[in-house]
């Protein structure tokens, strides 16, 4: 594996590019299984923006709904039938959609899995390094509580590849701190309302804990503490705009944001186009390494201040581009428009 450091009903819509240039253009399919989550919404907008900025995409065919692996199998097969040249997929599980991916690649369709890996060897993978994401944040948190005590472990969606990888990273850090225990482990489903209710329930029940690790559902966790009046504890989240802002503005909050760019979706489109243009990379896997921004160090504060972006939705990661991969502008990703829209 080559590692590169880079700094509900089905909604199926097809958008065409008016006035296609003479250069060869492609039809790209997109499959995503989570709606209503800011990270995923930014990911889809990055896909649209990169398709538009590339000038190489004649049409996007987007399957974007809340579903499971079985539903995604159906969506991918529909994209195959639609005659797309490539499919960029955020998989519901590491192996649950392998059959459809294999069918696609057997027909010469390029498949790029973003954010989460798949085990089908014919697919390319462009993913944030999810294990390292969890390890960095968990290690920081355990150090903040003095290497002992208990924490709330707020995971993502059960069975999702990214959640499984993050669990490995979290437990790797936990093994290094034998005096840290998990007071409560919950699955947020990467849904803001669900995560906030879960932490409110723990606070109301009087559960004792010294810190909170979240799988990117973060600003609402801070809100729960401020609204309830409960004593603030160290909190780890992602580089979502709302949480990054709170790290500077919420009194008494000690926290760390670990970068996890939703723009990996745009990078996935760029990789698919690169392969279609006959420039496939030697290795099938590219990992985007995370960085931790904490508000307890001068270096971390500098990164947090630089990352502030009032133009973004609070649930969008502030790392809206990936150098070397995405070429769209800030205005293009915020507009969230693909070819022909």
6 falls in which pLDDT band (50, 70, 90)?
very low
At 11 the pLDDT is: 32
- The model carries a pTM of 0.82
Give me the mean pLDDT over the 204-231 stretch. Answer: 97
Q: Over the stretch 71-100, which tens digit does the pLDDT of each residue have?
A: 999 999 999 999 999 999 999 988 999 999
- pLDDT above 50: residue 324: yes
The SS3 of residue 58 is strand
22 falls in which pLDDT band (50, 70, 90)?
low
Q: Over the stretch 95-148, which tens digit does the pLDDT of each residue have?
A: 999 999 999 999 999 999 999 899 999 999 999 899 999 999 999 999 999 999
CA 208, CA 341: separation in Å to the nearest integer?
A: 51
Tell me if 123 sits within 8 A of 100, measured CB to CB.
no
b/e for 292-331, b at 16 or more Cβ within 10 A? bbbbeeeebeebbeebebeebebbbbbbbbbeebbebeee
Give me the mean pLDDT over the 21-50 stretch. Answer: 90
At 333 the pLDDT is: 96
Tell me if 139 sits within 8 A of 173, measured CB to CB.
yes
Average pLDDT over the chain reads 92
Q: By CB neighbour count within 10 A (0-12 exposed, 13-18 middle, 19+ buried), where does 86 fall?
A: buried
Give me the mean pLDDT over the 145-169 stretch. Answer: 95
At 36 the pLDDT is: 83
Fold of 12-129+261-290+316-335: Rossmann fold (3.40.50)
Higher pLDDT, 24 or 66: 66
CA 223, CA 110: separation in Å to the nearest integer?
A: 42
CA 213, CA 68: separation in Å to the nearest integer?
A: 25
**CATH number given to 130-258:** 3.40.50.2300
At 304 the pLDDT is: 96
At 3 the pLDDT is: 42
**What percent of the chain shows pLDDT beyond 70?**
93
CA 15, CA 250: separation in Å to the nearest integer?
A: 42
CA 295 to each of CA 11, 258, 301, 326: distance values in angstroms, whole numbers, following the listed order: 40, 12, 5, 28
The SS3 of residue 221 is helix
At 238 the pLDDT is: 96
* Rg of the chain over all Cα atoms, to the nearest angstrom: 20
Start-end ranges of CATH 3.40.50.2300 in the chain? Answer: 12-129+261-290+316-335, 130-258
């Amino acid at each position: 594996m080559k590692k590169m450091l880079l700094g509900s009903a089905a909604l199926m819509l097809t958008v065409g590019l008016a006035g296609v240039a003479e250069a060869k253009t492609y039809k790209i399919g997109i499959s995503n299984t989570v709606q209503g989550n800011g990270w995923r919404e930014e990911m889809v907008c990055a896909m649209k923006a990169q398709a538009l900025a590339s000038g190489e995409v004649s049409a996007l065919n987007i399957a974007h709904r809340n579903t499971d692996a079985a539903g995604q199998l159906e969506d991918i097969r529909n994209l195959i039938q639609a005659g797309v040249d490539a499919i960029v997929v955020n998989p519901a599980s590491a192996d649950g959609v392998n059959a459809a991916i294999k069918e696609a690649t057997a027909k010469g369709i390029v498949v790029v899995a973003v954010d989460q890996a798949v085990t089908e060897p014919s697919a390319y993978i462009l993913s944030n390094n999810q294990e390292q994401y969890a390890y960095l944040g968990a290690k920081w948190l355990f150090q903040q509580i003095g290497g002992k005590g208990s924490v709330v472990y707020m995971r993502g969606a059960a069975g999702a590849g990214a959640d499984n990888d993050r669990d490995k990273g979290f437990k790797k850090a936990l093994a290094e701190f034998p005096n840290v225990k998990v007071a409560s482990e919950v699955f947020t489903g990467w849904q803001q309302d669900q995560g906030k209710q879960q932490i409110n329930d723990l606070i109301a029940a009087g559960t004792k804990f010294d810190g909170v690790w979240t799988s990117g559902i973060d600003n609402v966790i801070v809100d729960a503490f401020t609204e309830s009046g409960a004593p603030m504890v160290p909190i780890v989240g992602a580089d979502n705009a709302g949480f990054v802002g709170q790290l500077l503005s919420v009194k008494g909050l000690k926290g760390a944001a670990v970068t996890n760019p939703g723009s990996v979706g745009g990078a996935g489109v760029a990789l698919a186009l690169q392969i279609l243009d006959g420039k496939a990379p030697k290795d099938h896997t590219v990992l985007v390494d995370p960085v931790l921004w904490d508000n307890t160090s001068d270096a971390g504060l500098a990164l947090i201040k630089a990352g502030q972006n009032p133009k973004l939705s609070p649930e969008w990661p502030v790392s809206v581009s990936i150098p070397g991969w995405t070429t769209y502008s800030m205005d293009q990703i915020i507009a969230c428009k693909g070819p022909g829209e």
